[in-house]
Chain A
Amino acid sequence: MNALNQTPVPSPCISICEMGPDGLCKGCLRTIEEISQWGRADDDYKRAVWQDIRLREQQIGFP
């Protein structure tokens, strides 16, 4: 999904919702702070988080 182009920016949550030992959710790859802030965040913040998610995917080697 190209989340960066959508308005409003969709949530990365895929209902796995389990924090990993690296401080990232195993499902959406967000930190607790990012998940916590998402509700009150504007689209700029959300797009920045999505970009960080993409970087984390590459680092972890997600397909």
Chain B
Amino acid sequence: MTLPSGMHVFERGWLSSNNVLFTGPGPATLVDSGYVIHAAQTVALVEHALGGQPLERIVTTHLHSDHCGGNAALQARFGCRVAVPAADAANVRDWHATAMNFHLTGQQCPRFTAQDTIAPGDELLLAGQVWQVLGASGHDAHALVLYCPTERILISADALWRNGFGVIFPELEGDSGFIEERATLELIDTLEVDLVIPGHGPMFTDVKDAIKRAFNRLNFLQASPVRNAENAVRVMLKFLLLERQQMLLADVPALVASIPLMETIRTRYLDKSNDELAEWAVQGLVRAGAAKRDGVMLRNYDL
């Protein structure tokens, strides 16, 4: 799959989001900046690709720690402008609500400032091409995706991956999310797309198949919302494991108890004590090949 010139995709793992760098023509722009603990490598990748040219803009598709965690470091390094979804602008300015949201899932993200906002219907000029900003509510209420009709490329963030999409977080907090994700997938289905650059995982060209898989996944989750909740628990524990690479098995219950969204899920959806939830989550990750028990330790693992 060939990318247009002036466009670079940094495929990160599952802790940091992928980053899309537009080196030119026009102001160098980065879409999504990964997680904070990888910020030094994100800066190094951007510096390497820009070869002395400054990064002038960052576009944040949604305010999740794995997508905006490098914003502070990049702003410090380059003094670049940051654009966030308009619906999140007030929270970014005040930061308090934003900090709370990161705390809800047990994640961290350093504060940054936003100079610009983007909203569905906007157009961005990136490496000399017009990119449309589209609303992609579902995984996050204010999430956006970027679509280039000329190149037929979609930067889909966590609305669509090759196999599925990100946890539908709004549903876990009593808000609607399944309907919104369905509308987002339907919107994506109407677009002429040859290449999808997802928020995590490799770029892919089997777009229609991926959309079909995503609809199947959504139907599965929507049929029994506890499934979305159970998935969220495993995803949040896996995220922590990716961040730390290992932890004492004995520490998992306290860690789970310290994460507000885990507690919300436990009391709303699952008939388990905190300790039972912790053990259930560990078993789920081990069974899926996403973690390994090693004596007293739980270690990150990937098949």
Interface residues of A (CB under 8 A from B): 1, 8, 11, 13-19, 25, 32-33, 35-36, 38-40
Bound together, the chains give a CA A2 to CA B3 distance in angstroms of 27
Whether a CB of chain A sits under 8 angstroms from the CB of B303 is yes
Partner of A39, one of B9, B44, B300: B9
How far, in Å, is A59 (CB) from chain B's closest CB? 21
B49 touching A13, Cβ below 8 Å: no
A38 contacts across to B, CB distance below 8 A? 10-11
Q: Which residue of B lies closest to A31 (CB)?
A: B48
Q: When A11-B13, A15-B242, A15-B300 are in contact, do A32 and B8 touch as well, CB less than 8 Å? A: no
B10 touching A39, Cβ below 8 Å: yes
Q: Which residue of A lies closest to B45 (CB)?
A: A36
A40 touching B49, Cβ below 8 Å: no
Q: Mark B225-254, 1 if CB is under 8 A from A, else 0.
A: 000000000000000001101000000000
Q: When A36-B48, A39-B3, A40-B3 are in contact, do A15 and B15 touch as well, CB less than 8 Å? A: yes
A13 contacts across to B, CB distance below 8 A? 11-13
How far, in Å, is A53 (CB) from chain B's closest CB? 15
How far, in Å, is B225 (CB) from chain A's closest CB? 29
Question: Given A11-B11, A15-B242, A17-B16, list of 6 further CB < 8 A pairs?
Answer: A14-B300, A15-B38, A17-B34, A36-B48, A39-B203, A40-B2
B242 contacts across to A, CB distance below 8 A? 15
Partner of A14, one of B11, B13, B18: B13
Bound together, the chains give a CA A13 to CA B300 distance in angstroms of 13
Bound together, the chains give a CA A36 to CA B3 distance in angstroms of 13
Bound together, the chains give a CA A11 to CA B204 distance in angstroms of 14
Closest 10 CB pairs of A and B: A39-B9, A15-B13, A17-B38, A13-B13, A15-B15, A15-B242, A17-B41, A32-B48, A40-B3, A39-B11
5 contacts between A and B (CB under 8 A): A15-B245, A18-B40, A36-B45, A39-B3, A39-B10
A11 touching B300, Cβ below 8 Å: no
Bound together, the chains give a CA A25 to CA B3 distance in angstroms of 24
A1 touching B41, Cβ below 8 Å: no
Bound together, the chains give a CA A25 to CA B44 distance in angstroms of 11
Whether a CB of chain A sits under 8 angstroms from the CB of B271 is no
Q: Mark B37-70, 1 if CB is under 8 A from A, else 0.
A: 1101100110011000000000000000000000
Q: Which chain B residues in 1-29 approach chain A with CB under 8 Å?
A: 1-3, 8-16, 18
Whether a CB of chain A sits under 8 angstroms from the CB of B202 is yes
A36 contacts across to B, CB distance below 8 A? 8, 10, 45, 48-49
Bound together, the chains give a CA A33 to CA B243 distance in angstroms of 24
A39 contacts across to B, CB distance below 8 A? 3, 8-11, 18, 203
Bound together, the chains give a CA A16 to CA B30 distance in angstroms of 21
Bound together, the chains give a CA A14 to CA B38 distance in angstroms of 12
